[in-house]
Amino acid sequence: MNEQKRQKLLDVIAPPAIDIELDHVKLGNVFVRTLFVFSYPRFLAQNWMSPIINMDQTVDISIFMNPVSTEKILKQLQSRLTGIEAEMMEREEKGMIRDPVLDTAYRNIEDLRDKMQTAEEKMFQFGLYILIYGKSKEELDKTENSIRSILESRLVYVKQAVYQQGEGLLSGIPLNLDELKVTRSMNTSPLSSTFPFVSFDLSDDKGILYGINRHNSSLVLFDRFSLENANTVILGKSGGGKSYAVKLEILRSLMLGTDVIVIDPENEYQYLAETTGGSFFKVSLTSGDHINPFDLPAPQKDEDPKELLRANIITLIGLLKIMLGSMTPEEESILNEAINQTYASRDITPGTPNFWEITPPLMQDLFTVLENMEGGESLAQRLQKYTTGVYSGFLNKQTNVQLKTRLVVFNIRDMEDDLRPVAMYIIINFIWTNIRKELKKRILAIDEAWWMLQHPESAAFLFGIAKRARKYYLGVSTITQDIEDFMNSDYGRAIITNSSLQILMKQHAATIDKLQQIFNLTDEEKYLLLENNVGEGLFFAGTKHVAIKVVASYVEDQIITSDPEQLLQIQKEKEGE
């Protein structure tokens, strides 16, 4: 009875037919070909097999290592050394010049002999076989050419097991049978480079789950605050899963006690804020949420109030350059004096005690000062649209928003495109002012940060915050889909360099070459980014990086999804309750 069951099991797992041909084996409808490595370079780099292991095609690799007696190898090495010495002496007697090939061989053999005598090295017979699969012979040929191209670029050469495909199949499947017996001698050091499982393991018991390591299916658990800085940059084309990954990080960070502030240009974070009990502010020309750029923070214990006022004036000049356009040095000087007079009109001067407690001036006050200042008429005319003109409902009122909840979202979707850099500048400055008041673990997520790079002043301002964030226990997440503009900016590249955590999602072919250059990507990683599915990418943490797949639970997915179809379904379910 047991024999009958065993036979039925064999019938189930066995292919319907096996056809062994000259250069392949056909298992049912599947074509299989065995390749063996027959030549290696003098030096092998670590992880040289990684491109083959991580290929999209199905590939099986079998490695056979059989130890060889050290005593036997030492005798062979001594014999070889004697032969080389004799050849070198013969050339010397004939007056011939020294052969560098013989000199190198002599040194290498002598070095290997010394290491084997001290047990630093051992010798093995090493065989490497590769099984490739396809639905046709043409597909086998295509895969074989890909493998040849990858390996030959590393001076590693393969051949088909011609007339031995049956033996090759047995050698390639996990039966521990080396039927091909195509081996070569290799000592421990180069042999170690063939170890296939060298994917970085990014697991930290203090971190949050970012996703699954696509190389070995381990969990990517990481604490961004454990790095030299907690800044993150996330780059990817539209629809690649950037915002989804950011929202998932925000949700999980909130669970572990980290406060989060978000600048949301497309209204993607409102439901997340509502679900987690956060605050959601709409900043637009007609909204009731306002931020006054003239606000002054209370100085910290180690801060000079005079320097604080001076720094805020510099920040205001940067903002007004974005609002009013290019200025001559004379106009900058007039503007600087006008801002000082505007503060002074409210009795806010470096000598005023506790001036930060006084109600600050408004943009209308600056307009009035410029209008009545010699040389300020032109600047007043350009500023008028922000005080009494079409943009007057935006920044000409006292601040009425506060950062009281664990998650705060500033939405600028309804802000005109021309005003978005201005709005982001004001919001980030307001956030930065509040962050400096209290040392607390926070994340600032700036979605579509390329808006800030359109003007040198706002780009410099963003980079300055990213550079100083670590001092205030802040991690700045910079997210953008306009990768070309970001990488063409000096400040954009500086922000990338100053971010210890970098996540690259699916990329566009037009920008992948520049991205490869900046991140030192291999060709395999480059093609991986071009062919990624939604939610897949590369995760860089310091010197380590892995291929990652962002994975959320059902509940998390319902909270953070941006898929229009899912959002409509969720809305219908809400209405039906």
134: phi then psi, degrees, rounded to nearest 5? -165, 170
Count of helices and strands (H, E) across the chain: 22, 18
- Name the 3-class secondary structure at 65: strand
Nearest by Cα to 62 from 199, 194, 200: 194
- Asked if 161 and 34 touch (Cβ cutoff 8 Å), the reply is yes
Q: How many CB atoms lie within 10 A of CB 404?
A: 8
What is residue 198's predicted lDDT score, i.e. its pLDDT? Answer: 55
What is residue 552's predicted lDDT score, i.e. its pLDDT? Answer: 92
What is residue 196's predicted lDDT score, i.e. its pLDDT? Answer: 65
What is residue 253's predicted lDDT score, i.e. its pLDDT? Answer: 94
Taking every pair of Cα atoms in the chain, the longest distance, rounded to a whole number of angstroms, is 108
Tens-binned pLDDT, residue by residue, of the chain (577 aa): 577 777 777 777 778 888 999 999 999 889 999 999 999 887 777 778 878 876 778 899 999 999 998 888 888 888 888 888 888 888 888 888 888 888 888 888 888 888 888 888 899 999 999 999 999 999 999 999 999 999 999 899 999 999 999 999 999 988 889 999 999 888 888 888 877 655 555 666 678 999 988 876 778 888 999 888 999 999 988 888 898 999 999 999 999 999 999 999 888 899 899 999 999 999 888 888 889 999 988 887 878 888 889 999 999 999 999 999 888 989 999 999 999 999 999 999 988 888 888 999 999 999 999 999 988 899 999 999 888 888 877 788 899 998 889 999 999 988 888 888 888 899 999 999 888 888 899 999 999 888 888 888 888 888 999 999 999 999 999 998 877 777 788 888 889 888 989 999 998 888 888 888 888 888 878 888 888 888 999 998 877 788 899 999 989 998 888 777 777 887 777 676 5
What is residue 439's predicted lDDT score, i.e. its pLDDT? Answer: 87
Q: Residue 183 and residue 329: Cα distance in Å, rounded?
A: 76
Measure CA 472 to chain center. Answer: 23
DSSP 449-479: GGGGGGSHHHHHHHHHHHHHGGGGTEEEEEE
User: 49-64 b/e with 16+ CB inside 10 Å = b?
Assistant: bbbbebeeeebeebeb
What is residue 391's predicted lDDT score, i.e. its pLDDT? Answer: 83
Q: Residue 515 and residue 521: Cα distance in Å, rounded?
A: 8
- Name the 3-class secondary structure at 368: helix
Q: Which helix (H) or strand (E) holds 503?
A: strand 501-504
Q: Residue 69 and residue 49: Cα distance in Å, rounded?
A: 27
Burial (CB count within 10 angstroms: exposed 0-12, middle 13-18, buried 19+), residue 485: middle
What angle is formed at CA 395 by the lines to CA 268 and CA 276, rounded to 5 degrees? Answer: 30
Q: Which residues does 164 contact at the CB level (< 8 Å), separation at least 6? A: 34, 179, 180
